[in-house]
Structure 1
Amino acid sequence: MEEKDDNYYIEKVIAGQTSYFSYVVEKYQDVVFSIALKVLKNREDAEEMAQESFVKAFKSLHTFQRKAKFSTWLYRITYNTCISETRKKKQYFASTDEVQISDEVEEMNFDGIPAENREKYIKAALAKLQEDEYTLVLLYYFEDQSVEDISKVTGLSGSNVKVKLYRARKKLYVILNEMLKEDVYSIL
């Protein structure tokens, strides 16, 4: 079966065939939840805000202008919904269980980390990033979003996104090095 692009399903939903929105939810639910979880740091709140993000997207679908990718537009809704929720509540609880580590992240060069432990180390290191750093890394490396798209999601300038991504990569490198040193010392 041929997979259609997002615009096909969006047009169907706008035309009144609302059941097609389930495709959008299924395709993006993991990333939307992961962004919400990192920003809100609470699983229940993240589930609620992820659902709220999809409801907002569904209700506003007719306003989607296709100037950016649909995923960028949806992630922006998610990010803003979660930031608004954070302003209402100040709770902190970190988890990176929902992030899927893939081979595409290899470009960050994790060669020094044994392959069998790579996912564990990366998730642990990601959990130590601040929410804005985590969101940038997630969108850029795990969701293949461009700097321009991330800029639209976060409201940061393109150059600011690049600087923050650079700093987040540096921080990940330091965190991973420390984790590896601790493991080597504990073995000795």
Structure 2
Amino acid sequence: MDEKVVEASYLAYAQPLFLYALSLTKDEQKAEQLVSDAYYKLLCQAQAPAQIKFWLLRVVKTSFIDHYRRQKYRQTINLAQQQATFTPSFEVAILQKERNRRLYFAILSLKYPYNELILLFYFADCSTAELAQYFQLSINQVRVYLHRARKQLREVLADEN
């Protein structure tokens, strides 16, 4: 693979990819590891994938799922307790304003696939066509899910006030 293609994709997609990985792992080091693994796998490819951004997002998600499954067999994880003890460190630096931090945690409180759709659509700048391909849905289904996600997000934010 051409290193210039990898470098250009890194400059274009590293930050949104890191934020996506961070939303999955809730840990800065694990998120960095997922992103670096994705770019390593990209370097190992003979040819560049047709849609590099989509391919990288898929690699990060499958790597996260694989790691979670491996951990599941090694020890039991109480996700409710883990989420309750989560203290934001890097997010506070990124989302300095209180309003943005509230919004971020409100998005994370949404159920799957709504939280992932919102994160990918707004923070990773994925189009509805890319999301449809990623989730294996039609474009209209993605639009409906985004509408429902926004509606649920409004309700969550209204409940906080």
2:130 counterpart residue number = 149
The answer (yes or no) to whether the contact 2:120–2:126 under 8 Å persists in 1 is yes
Mapped contact 1:39–1:131 kept (Cα < 8 A): no
Identify which of 136, 147, 152 aligns with 1:171.
Answer: 152
CA distance in 2, matches of 1:100, 1:35: 13
Q: After TM superposition, where is structure 1 displaced by more than 6 Å over at least 4 residues in a row? A: 98-101
For the 8 Å contact 1:33–1:46, the answer to whether it is kept is yes
Aligned equivalents of 1:47, 1:27: Cα separation in 2? 16
TM-score (normalizing by structure 1): 0.63
1:106-153 CA deviation, whole Å, 9 max, x = no partner? xxxxxxxxxx75323322322322453222112212333222201222
1:50 aligns with 2:44: no
Q: For residue 119 of structure 2, what is the amino acid of its counterpart? A: L
Q: Deviations over 1:155-178 (max 9, x none)?
A: 344344233322211111011111
Unaligned runs of 5+ in 2: none
1:98 Cα deviation from its structure 2 partner: 8.2
Mapped partners of 2:92, 2:33: distance in 1: 15
- Conserved 8 A contact 1:126-1:172: yes
Q: What does 1:1-188 align with in structure 2 at a 5 Å threshold? A: 13-14=1-2, 18=3, 21-60=6-45, 62-64=47-49, 66=50, 69-90=51-72, 92=79, 93=83, 97=91, 117-130=98-111, 132-180=113-161
Q: Which amino acid aligns with 1:30?
A: Q
1:145 partner letter: C
Change in Cα spacing, 1:151 to 1:162, as seen in structure 2 (3 Å) is: same
Structure 1 residue 61, shift from structure 2 partner? 5.8
Kept in 2: contact 1:34–1:99 (CA 8 A): no
| Change beyond 3 A, Cα 1:175–1:135 | same
Aligned residues: 148
Distance 1:98 1:36, change over 3 A: farther
**CA spacing shift, 1:76–1:47, aligned 2, 3 Å:** same
1:28 positional shift: 1.4
Following the alignment from structure 2 to structure 1, what is the Cα–Cα distance between the partners of residues 154 and 116? 17
State the identity as a percent.
24
TM-score (norm 2): 0.71
Q: Is the 8 A contact 1:30 1:98 kept in 2?
A: no
Offset at 1:63?
4.7
Q: Is the 8 A contact 2:21 2:34 kept in 1?
A: yes
